[in-house]
Structure 1
Amino acid sequence: MATYTPPRPFFLPDAHLPNSASTPWTCRTCTGTWPCETAEQYLTAGRCQCGSPMYWEKSNPRRWHTGPRCYSHADQMAALAEELHQYHQAHPHYPPPRPDPPRRRRRQRPPYAHTPSGPGDIRPGTWLWVKPGGLHPAWGDIHRLAMLTHLDRSYCEVWLDDTTVHRVRPHLLILERTPVVNAARAAGVTSLVCGGSGPAPRPLLPQWRWLGWTLAEHIEHLGADPEPQAVPVQEGLFAA
Structure 2
Amino acid sequence: MAQSLIGGLIASGYNKQNIIATDPTEAQRNSVTQNFGIHCLADNAEAIQRSDIVVLAVKPQVLESVCHSIADAVQAKKPLIISVAAGIRSDDINRWLGSNTAIVRTMPNTPALIQTGATGLFANTFVSNEQQSQAEHILRAAGITVWVDEEAKLDAVTALSGSGPAYYFMFMEAMEQTAQTLGLDEKTAHLLTLQTALGAAKMALESHQDCATLRKNVTSPNGTTERAIQSFENAGLHQIVENAMKAAQTRAQELADELGGKA
TM bucket normalised to smaller: under 0.3
Structure with the higher fraction of residues in helix conformation: 2
Structure with the higher fraction of residues in strand conformation: 1
> TM-score, normalised to structure 2's length?
0.23
> TM-score, normalised to structure 1's length?
0.25
